[in-house]
Each structure stands twice: as C-alpha cells, then as structure tokens.
C-alpha cells in the first residue's frame, strides 16, 4: 500500500492533471482493502483524491456516497466537495446550508454559495456575493488565476437574470448592475463574457446590441484553440439558440429559420433542448403559409411534443417556465378548452396560496412576492376561461361573480379593472381596486402587504386618480407606498423598487406639506445611497433638501454640514448654463408658452346640445394662442351642406327669416308618401298620362266614370258606365284603320 500512496502523492504533486480516470484508479489502489472509516492521513488523502476524481468525471452521486462512507473525518475535510456535489445533483437547499456554515471564511465556498443562489433565483444575493468576490479577485491570496474574469462572467449572468425577472434596474440594489456596464471592451475578449453581455442586452430590450454581442461570441467560440470540436459544439448551442431569438425579435424570420436549421436538436439536453424545441415551433408557425399558423389544434399537438422540463440544477428558470405555461394556456383557450384552463388555474392558485400560508411564519415569508407574476398570469388566464374569450359587458357579467369568491386573485382583479376602464367606468374600476387595497392593508402577512404596494398596482391606482384629477390622492398613495418599502425588512427579495421611490419623490416635491417634502427627501436619500452616480436621484435629493431647508429655516437655522452637503450634491450636477446652451430665452419670453386647456368635466349625457357644443368649441379655441385674426361675419359661419345651403337660399328668396311658422297648421298627411296624399296631382306629359292610368291600381279601388245616353224616339235618357280606354286607345284604332286602307 505504501507504494501506491507514494505513486498517488507523486501524481498529486503534478502541475496539471487531466487523466482523471488514472487518478481514480490510483486512489482506489491506495485505499486497497483498508477500513472505510479509517482516520489515518494516508487513507483520508486517498479518499479525498477519489472524491475529487469522481467530481471531475461528473459522477456526483458516487462522490456523495464515498463521502458518506468515509466517516465524519472525511466529511469535515470535503465540505467544498460535498457542497458542489449537492449543487450539481439538484439538492440546492442542502448545498446552501452547507456553504453558509463555513462560507464566510472560505473563498471557494463563496463561489458555491453564489452558484446556489443563482439557481434558486436569489439573484440579489448572488449579485452581492459576486460583487464581494470581484473586489479582491486580484489581490486575495486564495484567488485563482483568471478568477476575476470568471467572476465577471458569472456576474453578467446574474445581471441578465435580474433583468429578465424585472429587477434589473427597478430596485435600489441595482447599482451593481449599472456598475457592470455590460458590453464593454473586456467583454469582447472571451466568448463566455460576450454571450452573457448579449443576454443582458436581450433582457434589457436592446436587441440590436445583443445581436452584435452574440455574433461576436460565436466567432470567438469557433476560433478558440482551447476547446475540442465536441466542446465547441456544446458551447455553440446556447449561443445559436439565443441568436435565433434575437433575429426573431428583429423581424428577420428568414435568417432565424436558416440559423435554426443549423441547430442539431439531438445534441441538446436538459433545459437547452426545451428552449430549442420551443423556438423551432415558434419560427415554423410565424410563417403565414404554415398550416399551424391558423390551426390551434395542430399547434397544440406540436407543443405537447416538446420535451418535459428537467428538474434539479438544470431546470428552467421561473420566467422561462412562465412563458411556456402561458403558451400552453393560450393555445388551449384558442381550442375552446375553457373548463380545463379554468380548473387548472384554480388548482395552481390554490397551491400557491397554501404554500404562501405555510411560509407565513418563516423569516423569508416575502419570498412569495417573487411568484407574484405567476399568480397574476394564472388569474388572467382563469378570467379569460371564465369569460370564454368574451369582452365588454358579457365578460364582466361572468367575471364579477367569480371575483366575489376569489377577492384576492390579483390577475382576476386586474382583468375586471381593465374591462371597466374599457367601458369608460373609472369609478367602478377604482372601487374594485380600493376594496382590494383595504383587505390587503388589514392582512397580517407581510406578503399580502408587499403585494398591495406592488409597483404595478400602485401605478394603476395613480393612473386612475390622475384620470379623475385627484392629485392629492396620487400623493397620498405614493407616500404610503414609499413608506412601506422603506420600512420593509432589508432582505434580498424585499429591496425597495427604485421606480416607485423615484416617482414618489418627484410627485411629493410638488406638495407644500412639510411631511410630503420630508418623505420625498427620504425616498431620494434611499435611492442616492444605492446608486450615487444617478444624476436624476442627485437632482431630486438637492431639490428635496432645499425645500426641507426652506421650511426648517423658519424655526431652526440650517447646519453648516447640511449646507455643505447640498453644495456638494449641486456641484455634481450639470450646470444650468450648459443645459440651456443653444436656447434663445428672449425669444421664448416674447412668444410665450402655449398651454393646453384644462380637461372638461365629463358630460352627464352622451349627447350634448348644439349650444353646449358651440360653447365648448369656442372656449377651447379661445384658450389656445392663435397667430391669425379670428374670422368674422360670413367667414365665421360654420360650413353647411349643399342641401342646407339650398334651403337657406330658398328661405331668403321668400323673404322669411325662419322656415317654421308656429301659427300655420301642420299637414296631417305629411307622413304619407307624396303619391298617396289627396293633394297629389300627376305631372303632365307622357309620363303623367302613364301615372294617371296607373291611378286605378292604387288603394281605394277604381273610380267609375258615367255618361248619359239619349234613347231613340224621344223616350228619354239613361245613365250608363263609360267603357274604360287604354292610354292610347282611340289613336290605336285610327292607326289600324289607316293600315287597312
């Protein structure tokens, strides 16, 4: 055994070891037939080497079994190896607990903890760990060669995931993302950094920049001398898949389809295979000539053929799984599977609610806020299934009873609010929203209060208040939301949303209330502490401190330290002279500034009288500046139609100022057609003779004509009915006689 141990030690002293199978063989030979739990240094060294070799060979389960069989001494010696093996096998909770036990003093365990936080989607925590690792990546004695590059690559991946989750630049902890400045020169030197920088650009919506970075990543990967052909194909797969997505977003469907053909689906595995299959399906259906573009049943069959999402450390991220679920629900709704969608969404919502209630007593109870988009999506699809894709009043008639049974369903609530707003019923929409706010504020769970002050719901309430002109209600709502997020526990998932604090600070600055001005200063203080380089935040902080100083100076003088701080902040801003450079201030003062008219109050009736319409038009015209002289006289009269002008001219020719005489008796037959009136006289001429002949066929029957004939011999006379004649009876007889001659 001594010879095997010596051979193992000589192998371990090598500068680089690539033959892990040989290392595993020597470790097994060194272990020999010794006791698995032996605490001898040679035995522990051999077992430790075996564990490392198994990890290098991706045999993570075997490595964990070896550690478990090696006893406590081996477990204490292989904390890093155990944490990494647990992470790779998908036991993320155990890996996080093990890394946290000694992570503060072990640099390698910090890397494992950051990876675990990345896979558990605790991206704020992962960003903080990578920021700490990047600060001393060059100077730390434990730092490895090229560690700073690896840390930046992983930090870019975290930044992309934060942006896809909607937390990239929306929280006060987003200063780390802005400091990364994805896409700078150093990111173009390695394909991993270029790829992650491209993903950051995609997540932030800059698809054109992302396409350039991804193309650069592809070129660097193909030209790499450190990778084998097999490794190149494995590394190129996610790059090509992301390029297909960016080309589709840019509208270059033909290029995306051509690039999709270059992807070999058989070489994909895990989550990459699911994403590749989904993108291929979308590209095929994007063509108008595709049979599935108009047939949802065929599309559903293709979606069902997509591989199932994997589990463990290679599972899909929540935003990816959410997109796939939305696609599935949308296709099922197009296939009229309303009951199935309604039942599945209700079941998933119930599961989310039970999970949230089970975590209500835990320290991280607001982790349910991370699933807030999932809950909203389920509610929206459930509402669509309940309404059976109807809109307007028909949809409201079906959704509102369901909302009474599920008042905390935010997706269902938002759907009802949107339908009310589309029906121009802002009062009813605001009533639904405020009722939910009252219930959430009375709740004891932190997650319910966090959901109540979610930036999207607050923005919706503010928009409706502004629509109604209730500016004080806007300030009250924003002040309450800012106070809630500033008082919340400073956990990674409860970071105050920067967009909400910025909007609250700007709105509260317009208030004359000292309390509102103090709240604005507090909001800008929080934003400035997280990102001192943000000039908008610095300007807001200067304005809020100046307003607070003006209020406090009446009672207490401003301290020199506070005045010096205000001057320092003001000096960091762009000077006013530079901002106003190139602007003719004198011309602006002479010409004035055009102001929009104030919005008119909503009319009680849908129709308005002519006088009200003319008055509103006159007021609007008077409120706007005009460079032309107003028209007077005939030019100022409104334009009339041709028929109206003819009637007006006829009335003027008759000498009457009005076409209506109240003393004149109305014609009782004015509702009858002209030919049916008693005063109707057929026109003269050929057409008139035809109409007079047709008069016998009108209503009322034929009018009989009589004549008097004298009897022969002076016997008297008799009245007989006159024989009817055609329209040209006598002339026709004459023509026949002439023809016989």
pLDDT on residue 588: 81
What's the pTM? 0.67
Is residue 122 assigned to a domain? yes
Residue 361 has pLDDT above 50, yes or no: no
Q: For the chain, what is the domain count?
A: 1
* Whether 234 contacts 253, CB under 8 Å: no
Is residue 175 assigned to a domain? no
Q: What is the mean pLDDT of residues 589-606?
A: 65
pLDDT digits over 95-112, tens only? 888 888 876 667 888 889
The span from the first CA to the last CA of the chain, in angstroms, equals: 153
pLDDT on residue 613: 46
CA distance 308 to 277: 11
pLDDT on residue 570: 80
pLDDT on residue 414: 94
Q: Which residues make Cβ contacts (< 8 Å) with residue 181, sequence separation at least 6?
A: none
- DSSP assignment of 551-620: HHTTTSPPPHHHHHHHHHHHHTSPPHHHHTTT--HHHHHHH----PPPPPPPPSSSS--HHHHHHHHHHH
pLDDT on residue 384: 94
Residue 676 or residue 214, greater confidence? 214
User: C-alpha 520: how far from its chain's center?
Assistant: 28
In the chain, % of residues over pLDDT 70: 71
pLDDT digits over 557-574, tens only? 656 776 777 777 787 788
Is residue 70 assigned to a domain? yes
Is residue 62 assigned to a domain? yes
Is residue 596 assigned to a domain? no
Residue 343 has pLDDT above 90, yes or no: yes
Is residue 602 assigned to a domain? no
**CA trace torsion 713, 717, 718, 719 (10° rounding):** 140
Q: What is the mean pLDDT of residues 393-411?
A: 92
pLDDT on residue 175: 47
pLDDT digits over 456-509, tens only? 999 999 999 999 999 999 999 999 999 988 887 555 445 678 888 889 888 988
Residue 19 or residue 152, greater confidence? 152
Q: How confident is the model at residue 422 (pLDDT cuts 50, 70, 90)?
A: very high
Q: What is the mean pLDDT of residues 338-356?
A: 85
pLDDT on residue 148: 82
Residue 232 has pLDDT above 80, yes or no: yes
pLDDT digits over 37-84, tens only? 456 788 888 888 888 999 888 899 998 999 888 888 888 888 889 999
Three-state secondary structure along 155-200? HHHHHHHHHHCCCCCCEHHHHHHHHHCCCCHHHHCCHHHHHHHHHH
Average pLDDT, the chain: 77
Residue 639 or residue 83, greater confidence? 83
Q: Give the residue among 620, 659, 615, 614 at the shortest CA–CA distance from 638.
A: 614
Is residue 28 assigned to a domain? yes
Q: Give the residue among 529, 459, 535 at the shortest CA–CA distance from 490.
A: 529
Residue 144 has pLDDT above 80, yes or no: no
- Least confident span in 82-91, 373-382, 639-648: 639-648
Q: Output DSSP code: residue 140.
A: -
pLDDT on residue 560: 73
pLDDT on residue 121: 86
Beta strand pairing call for 717-721 and 706-710:
antiparallel
Domain that holds residue 82: 2-135
* Whether 479 contacts 522, CB under 8 Å: no
pLDDT on residue 163: 86
Is residue 120 assigned to a domain? yes
Q: How confident is the model at residue 311 (pLDDT cuts 50, 70, 90)?
A: confident
pLDDT digits over 152-196, tens only? 888 999 988 888 877 655 555 544 554 456 556 777 788 888 999
**What CATH number has the domain bearing residue 21?**
1.25.40.10
Residue 243 has pLDDT above 70, yes or no: yes
pLDDT on residue 614: 42
CA distance 497 to 527: 9
pLDDT digits over 704-740, tens only? 566 666 655 555 565 655 655 555 444 444 444 444 4
Question: What is the token pair recorded at 489?
Answer: 């526990």
Q: Which residues make Cβ contacts (< 8 Å) with residue 96, sequence separation at least 6?
A: 113, 116, 117, 120
Q: Which residues make Cβ contacts (< 8 Å) with residue 498, sequence separation at least 6?
A: 169, 170, 171, 172, 174, 527, 530, 531
- DSSP assignment of 384-429: HHHHTT--HHHHHHHHHHHHHH-TT-HHHHHHHHHHHHHTT-HHHH
- Least confident span in 81-85, 332-336, 689-693: 689-693
pLDDT on residue 693: 55
């Amino acid at each position: 055994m001594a010879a095997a141990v010596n051979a193992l030690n000589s192998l371990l002293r090598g500068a680089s070891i690539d033959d892990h199978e040989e290392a595993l063989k020597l470790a097994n030979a060194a272990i020999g037939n010794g006791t698995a739990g032996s605490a001898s240094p040679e035995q522990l060294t051999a077992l430790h080497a075996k564990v490392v070799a198994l990890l290098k060979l991706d045999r993570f389960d075997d490595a964990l079994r070896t550690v478990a069989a090696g006893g406590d001494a081996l477990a204490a010696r292989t904390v890093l190896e155990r944490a990494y093996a647990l992470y790779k096998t998908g036991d993320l909770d155990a890996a996080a607990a093990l890394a946290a036990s000694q992570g503060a003093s072990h640099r390698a365990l910090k890397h494992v903890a950051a990876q675990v936080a990345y896979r558990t989607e605790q991206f704020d925590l992962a960003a903080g760990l990578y920021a700490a690792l990047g600060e001393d990546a060059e100077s730390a004695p434990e730092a490895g060669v090229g560690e700073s590059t690896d840390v930046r690559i992983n930090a870019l991946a975290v930044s992309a995931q934060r942006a896809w989750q909607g937390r990239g630049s929306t929280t006060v902890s987003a200063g780390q993302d802005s400091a990364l400045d994805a896409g700078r020169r150093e990111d173009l030197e390695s394909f991993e950094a270029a790829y992650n920088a491209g993903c950051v650009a995609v997540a932030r919506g800059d698809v054109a920049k992302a396409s350039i970075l991804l193309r650069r990543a592809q070129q660097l990967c193909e030209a790499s001398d450190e990778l084998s052909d097999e490794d190149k194909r494995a590394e190129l797969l996610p790059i090509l898949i992301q390029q297909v997505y960016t080309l589709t977003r840019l509208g270059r469907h033909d290029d995306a389809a051509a690039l999709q053909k270059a992807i070999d689906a058989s070489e994909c595995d895990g989550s990459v295979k699911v994403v590749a299959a989904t993108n291929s399906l979308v590209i095929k259906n994007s063509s108008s000539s595709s049979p599935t573009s108009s047939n949802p049943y065929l599309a559903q069959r293709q979606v069902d053929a997509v591989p199932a999402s994997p589990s463990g450390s290679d599972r899909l991220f929540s935003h990816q799984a959410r997109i796939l679920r939305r696609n599935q629900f949308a296709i099922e709704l197009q296939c009229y599977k309303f009951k199935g969608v309604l039942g599945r969404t209700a079941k998933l919502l119930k599961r989310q609610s039970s999970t949230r209630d089970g975590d209500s007593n835990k320290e991280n109870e607001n982790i349910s806020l991370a699933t807030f988009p999932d809950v909203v999506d389920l509610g929206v699809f459930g509402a669509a299934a309940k309404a059976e894709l109807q809109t307007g009043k028909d949809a409201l008639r079906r959704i509102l009873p369901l909302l009474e049974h599920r008042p905390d369903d935010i997706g269902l609530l938002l759907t009802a609010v949107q339908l009310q707003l589309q029906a121009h019923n802002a009062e009813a929409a605001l009533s639904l929203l405020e009722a939910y706010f009252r219930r959430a504020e009375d709740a004891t769970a932190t997650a319910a209060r966090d959901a109540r002050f979610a930036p999207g719901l607050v923005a919706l309430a503010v928009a409706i208040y502004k629509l109604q002109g209730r500016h004080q209600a806007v300030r009250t709502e924003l002040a309450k939301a800012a106070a809630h997020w500033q008082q919340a526990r400073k956990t990674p998932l409860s970071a105050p949303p920067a967009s909400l604090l910025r909007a609250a600070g700007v709105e509260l600055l317009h208030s004359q209330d000292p309390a509102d001005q103090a709240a604005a200063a507090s909001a800008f203080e929080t934003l400035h502490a997280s990102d001192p380089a943000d000039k908008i935040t610095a300007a807001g902080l200067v304005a809020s401190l100046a307003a607070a100083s003006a209020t406090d100076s009446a009672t207490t003088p401003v301290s020199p330290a506070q005045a010096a701080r205000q001057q320092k902040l003001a000096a960091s801003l762009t000077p006013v002279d530079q901002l106003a450079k190139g602007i003719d201030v004198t011309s602006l003062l002479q010409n004035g500034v055009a102001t929009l008219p104030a919005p008119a109050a909503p009319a009680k009736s849908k129709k308005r009288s002519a006088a009200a319409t003319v008055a509103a038009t006159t007021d609007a015209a008077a409120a706007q500046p005009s460079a032309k002289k107003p028209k007077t006289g005939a030019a100022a009269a409104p334009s009339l139609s041709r028929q109206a002008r003819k009637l007006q001219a006829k009335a003027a020719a008759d000498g009457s100022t009005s076409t209506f005489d109240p003393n004149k008796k109305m014609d009782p037959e004015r509702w009858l057609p002209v030919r049916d009136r008693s005063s109707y006289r057929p026109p003269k001429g050929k057409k008139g003779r035809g109409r007079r002949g047709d008069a016998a066929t009108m209503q009322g029957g034929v009018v009989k004509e009589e004549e008097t004939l004298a009897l022969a011999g002076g016997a008297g006379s008799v009245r007989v009915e006159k024989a009817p004649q055609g329209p040209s009876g006598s002339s026709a007889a004459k023509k026949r006689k002439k023809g016989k001659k």
